[in-house]
Amino acid sequence: MSINVPTLISIIIYLIGMWIIGYVAAKMTKNLSDYVLGGRRLGAGVAALSAGSSDMSGWLMLGLPGAMYLSGFGSIWLPIGLAIGAYLNWQFIAKPLRVYTKVANDSITVPDFFENRFHDSSKILRVVSAIVILVFFTFYTSSSLVGGAILLEKSFGMNYILALWIGAAVIVSYTFFGGFLAASWTDFFQGILMFLALIIIPFVAIHELGGWHDTVQKIGNIGTSYLNVYSGATAVGVISLLAWGLGYFGQPHIIVRFMGIKSTKEIPKARLIGMGWMIISLFGAMFIGFAGIAYFADAPLKNSETVFIMFSQVLFNPWVSGFLLAAILSAIMSTVDSQLLVSSSALAQDFYKSIFRRNASKKEEMIVGRIAVLGIAIIAILLGYDPNSKVLELVGYAWAGFGAAFGPVIILSLFWKRMTRNGALAGIIVGSVTVIVWAKLSGGIFDLYELAPGFLLGGISIVIVSLLGRAPSKIIIEEFKTYRSKLKQV
């Protein structure tokens, strides 16, 4: 495939813009708190779109349209579950987490919060949390890099491995220098670009097919199962898709946006912006895949996850196509930068400073964080060497890991004062191990998405171990009361 110069130029213009934002953010990044949490100064719009775009990643532009292209409305349960989970996360977790992380010794990472919340001087809670973050984020990051490689490969005929390295180099370059502010500000603009692309492409595609009525009729002629939300559905299948929503409560790269917002007063506005963006984007992604069933009926796509890419190429002139393809790159970049950042903070703050170099200078911490970004990116690239990797499958595994390991711990730590350090530790271990083991089994109940049993068993283990052990100390209880008192005041 020959390289389309106008399309390439459009993407390069977009990338230059992201690098400029990263450069400006780097000038404002003075210490690890700035690098990891942006000094807690995100506005509502930036926090909302940053959380949304870092959440959705390449699966919104590749995986979800691909799932709709394959099965039609039978895939609708996944976005429904995600929308419900995201709303509950904004409604019930955002404000308490913002307040408690400030009360708990101004915690700037998730492991930092767990250690300070339970006054764990042993460091075991911090270390185990950091290990979980590094393991699952490596898979998560790899899934996004695979999406970027697919984009470059299908758009420009580039060798898959070369595309994998080029995509990673672009993302690492601005995350390496700018940290949290670079990730959040670029996420904001990337979120806008993703939003526009997800509105424009399905609108034009459905118009080309003769309108909504004709599109539905053509798809119905291909197969009525595409129009049935229960087509091929089983109780286990529907529950599995809805269970994706549980993952939101434990995703470090999403909940860290709640920690970084400048004021709790910004949260209602951020929730409105974030949920509006998310619901419209999900519908747009669904309709892209749905329209693709009819549009590509005579020449079915070999890879269902390329339906967005193909539409951008066949429906628009090369200049517009370039910016639409940049929307996919936006989705990928906005997630990878956040994942790399949380992973680097786990190494710099939760391993290096807390265990090996407690007196490390701020400059030294930032250097370690930046080195960690490079190291994790390289491992993720190597994991993505298989060109047959499915973006949605890789994302699903990592999403389940975080949701089961951290979700119950986050929820109960914010709302249950009787919870203990050992209970939190049990929840993290049981949740993550359940996901790893369950994912390797199949048949019957084991076809259930591993997040559901992992979340349930993790939560049960927290309650049992906490109740069997010694009650929290007076200091922890008093700090919990202080947090609840402050929460009522905001």
Buried b (16+ CB within 10 A) or exposed e, 458-467: bbebbbebbe
Domain hosting 353: range is 5-392
Confidence label for 236 from pLDDT (cuts 50, 70 and 90): confident
More confident residue, 251 or 347: 251
Give domain status of residue 422, yes or no: no
Residue pair 337/167 in contact by the 8 Å Cβ criterion: no
**pLDDT exceeds cutoff 90 at 405:** yes
Measuring CA to CA, which residue among 359, 69, 17, 382 is closest to residue 190? Answer: 17
Structural domains counted in the chain: 1
More confident residue, 333 or 406: 406
**pLDDT exceeds cutoff 70 at 177:** no
Q: What is the CA radius of gyration of the chain?
A: 22
Distance CA(340)–CA(14), nearest Å, equals 21
pLDDT at 154: 74
58, two tokens: 């390449």
Confidence label for 282 from pLDDT (cuts 50, 70 and 90): very high
More confident residue, 388 or 147: 147
The whole-chain average pLDDT of the chain stands at 83
Q: Which residues pair with 261 in a beta bridge?
A: 42
Give domain status of residue 450, yes or no: no
Confidence label for 54 from pLDDT (cuts 50, 70 and 90): low
Give domain status of residue 231, yes or no: yes
pLDDT at 392: 58
pLDDT at 57: 65
Residue pair 441/409 in contact by the 8 Å Cβ criterion: no
Distance CA(409)–CA(250), nearest Å, equals 8
Distances (CA, A) of 114 to 117, 135, 144, 368, 412: 5, 18, 28, 22, 11
Question: Which residues, 6 or more positions from 151, have their beta carbon under 8 angstroms from its beta carbon?
Answer: 58, 62, 163, 167, 309, 325, 328, 329, 332
More confident residue, 39 or 198: 198
Question: Which residues, 6 or more positions from 281, have their beta carbon under 8 angstroms from its beta carbon?
Answer: 52, 56, 60, 194, 195, 198
126, two tokens: 């911090």
More confident residue, 250 or 317: 250
**pLDDT exceeds cutoff 50 at 225:** yes
C-alpha dihedral sign at 432, 435, 441, 446 = positive
Confidence label for 287 from pLDDT (cuts 50, 70 and 90): very high
Task: Give the other-Cβ count within 10 Å of 377's Cβ.
Answer: 26
pLDDT at 182: 60
Q: What is the pTM of this model?
A: 0.83
Residue pair 278/86 in contact by the 8 Å Cβ criterion: yes
Distance CA(195)–CA(209), nearest Å, equals 22
Distance CA(39)–CA(108), nearest Å, equals 9
pLDDT at 1: 45
Longest dimension (CA), the chain: 70
**pLDDT exceeds cutoff 80 at 123:** yes
pLDDT at 92: 95
- Across 199-208, 229-238, 294-303, the highest mean pLDDT is recorded for 199-208
Q: What is the mean pLDDT of residues 39-51?
A: 63
Measuring CA to CA, which residue among 387, 292, 299, 309 is closest to residue 70? Answer: 292
Measuring CA to CA, which residue among 392, 79, 401, 390 is closest to residue 241? Answer: 79
Give domain status of residue 359, yes or no: yes
Give domain status of residue 399, yes or no: no
Task: Give the other-Cβ count within 10 Å of 240's Cβ.
Answer: 20
CATH number of residue 140's parent domain = 1.20.1730.10
Q: What is the mean pLDDT of residues 125-129?
A: 89
**pLDDT exceeds cutoff 80 at 179:** no
Residue pair 194/38 in contact by the 8 Å Cβ criterion: no
Q: What is the mean pLDDT of residues 334-343?
A: 70
Confidence label for 3 from pLDDT (cuts 50, 70 and 90): low
417, two tokens: 């004062």
Give the tens place of pLDDT for each residue, 350-397.
777 777 777 777 677 777 777 777 787 888 888 778 766 665 577 788
Give domain status of residue 470, yes or no: no
Give domain status of residue 383, yes or no: yes
pLDDT cut 90: percent of the chain above it: 35
Distances (CA, A) of 459 to 151, 228, 413: 39, 35, 11
Distance CA(362)–CA(346), nearest Å, equals 15
Give domain status of residue 314, yes or no: yes
Distance CA(377)–CA(380), nearest Å, equals 5
